[in-house]
Structures are given as C-alpha cells and as structure tokens.
C-alpha cells in the first residue's frame, strides 16, 4: 500500500509529520543506503526520497537490490510506528 493511501486511512497521521520523523531517524540508516536513495532521487530531500522509493517498492518499480528494498520498507515502517506511538501519547 502506498504512503498516501496509508495516511489517508489514518487521519491522525500526516505526510509532513512522517517526513519529520524520517528526518529525525535518518542516523539509523547506513550511509550507503542514504547515498543510494539520494542518487536515485536527486530532485527531492532525503526524507522525501525515502517515501518516494517506498512507493516505488510497493509498485514493484524500484531499482534497488532486495536487501536495500527491505531496509527501506523496514525503516519507513519503523517511522510510521513511531508516528503512531507518538500520536497515542498525545491523547
């Protein structure tokens, strides 16, 4: 499922908030993964590039290796869980 579809189904989430969490969590990613994503998505910020690549992976149009795709899906998933947990704490 694409990011925009996930966010649409969960109104307490927003793309801007997810981008902020991704930006905060980027130090968790390997430098090689960040460099490869930035290389593929030069026109956008690194956090947006992760979301764009996540959508490409969902559409099976990504040029990353299997392990790189798994890293991206896991990282974005972790950030989405973090956003959900943060939102539960604000209630």
Angle, alpha carbons 80-69-35 (nearest 5°): 90
Domain boundaries along the sequence of the chain: 3-8+28-86
pTM attached to this predicted model = 0.83
Q: Which tens digits make up the pLDDT trace of 4-23?
A: 676 666 666 788 888 999 99
Q: Mean pLDDT of all residues in the chain?
A: 87
Secondary structure (3-state) at 47? helix
Q: Which tens digits make up the pLDDT trace of 53-86?
A: 999 999 999 999 999 999 999 999 999 888 877 7
> What distance separates the 2 farthest-apart alpha carbons in the chain?
40
């Amino acid at each position: 499922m694409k990011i925009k579809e996930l966010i649409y189904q969960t109104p307490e989430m927003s793309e801007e908030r997810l981008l902020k969490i991704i930006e905060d969590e980027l130090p968790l990613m390997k430098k090689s993964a960040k460099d490869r994503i930035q290389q593929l998505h030069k026109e956008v910020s690194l956090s947006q590039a992760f979301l764009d690549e996540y959508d490409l992976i969902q559409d099976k149009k990504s040029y990353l290796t299997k392990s790189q795709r798994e890293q991206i899906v896991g990282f974005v998933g972790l950030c989405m869980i973090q956003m959900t947990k943060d939102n539960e704490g604000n209630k």
